[in-house]
Amino acid sequence: MFKDKELIIFDMDGTLIDSVPSLSYAINYMLKELGRKTFDENIIRDWVGNGADILVKRALVGKKEYEDENIDEEYFKKAKEIFLEFYGKNLNAKTTLYPDVIDTLEYLKSKGYKLALATNKPIEFVGSMLEHFGLLDYFETYLGGGSLKYKKPHPQILLKICNDLNIPPLKSVMVGDSKSDILAAKSANMDVIALTYGYNQGINLEELEPTILLDNFRDLKEYF
């Protein structure tokens, strides 16, 4: 179905790696340092997928719907600083690679596709994590939170990668696990493959009408 494509752009957290255990570890450390209530990992899992700022805000208000809450800006900055410092020291402490990721990336690379990474994770963490899990050499380029003005679901990060690699969006496919990935791809006029096992925050991804919905990473081989 996608054999005429040239570029595959992957999300990171919830797609290639399960980083929730490490993120939960860091969020609860932050909350303890602030003298606040901590949360079960399964609750925090539902907050992940929109970048560090939103994750911290959700933790501070204790729920996914943080927008209507009045969060003091200085308090937020202090909390985020605690979180990022601790997380930076414990990036891979509890993070794991999803099954079949290496094998599938190897297969796609062998077929001649260019691979890239577009994540909302702060860019300062991305390279070292890719290297730790043996993923760095598979990607032509990667961008993260802070690389550009906008994060997903804005299409800027996808369009930048296409432009840098001189491959049009119509010849590209986004692979991700969240609403942000699907919306970013659609705004970039790009096909999108959604994975059901990641951080979808309780959203039925099928309702967002991705090009294809898959349950396993290895199933990508059937379409390329």
- What CATH number is given to the structural domain containing 119? 3.40.50.1000
- Residue 169 and residue 110 in one domain: yes
pLDDT at 60: 95
Range with the poorest average pLDDT among 42-46, 50-54, 87-91, 164-168: 50-54
**115 backbone dihedrals φ, ψ, rounded to 5°:** -115, 140
Residue 2 lies in a domain: no
Best CA proximity match to 150, nearest among 53, 80, 222: 53
Question: 């993923």: which residue's tokens?
Answer: 135
The pLDDT value given to residue 99: 95
How much is the pLDDT for 190? Answer: 97
Contacting residues for 184 by C-beta, under 8 A, at least 6 apart: 118, 152, 153, 154, 155, 157, 158, 174
- Both 12 and 43 in a single domain? no
Burial class (CB in 10 A: 0-12, 13-18, 19+), 202: exposed
Minimum mean pLDDT range among 64-68, 83-87, 130-134? 64-68
Residue % of the chain over a pLDDT of 70: 100
pLDDT band at 64 (very low <50, low <70, confident <90, very high): confident
* pLDDT interval class at 48 (50, 70, 90): confident
Q: What pLDDT, on the 0 to 100 scale, is given for residue 76?
A: 95
Q: Which residues are part of the catalytic machinery?
A: 11
Instruction: Give percent above pLDDT 90 in the chain.
Output: 87
Same domain, 73 and 106: no
pLDDT at 201 over 90: no
- Average pLDDT score, the chain: 94
Banded model confidence at residue 70, pLDDT cuts 50, 70, 90: confident
Helix (H) or strand (E) run with residue 45 in it? helix 41-45
Distance of alpha carbon 202 from alpha carbon 124, whole angstroms: 28
Instruction: Please report the pLDDT score of residue 142 as a whole number.
Output: 98
CATH number at residue 61: 1.10.150.240
Say if residue 102 is in the same domain as residue 84. Answer: no
Q: pLDDT band at 169, cuts 50/70/90?
A: very high
pLDDT at 203: 83
The phi-psi region of residue 198 (left if phi > 0; otherwise alpha if psi is between -120 and 50; otherwise beta) is: beta
Neighbours of 54 (CB within 10 A): 17
Q: Is 119 within the bounds of a domain?
A: yes
Q: Are residues 34 and 99 in the same domain?
A: no
- The verdict on 77 and 181 lying in the same domain is no
The length of the chain, given as a count of residues: 224
The whole-angstrom separation of Cα 88 and Cα 203 is: 29
In terms of residue numbers, what domain contains 45? 20-89
pTM: 0.89
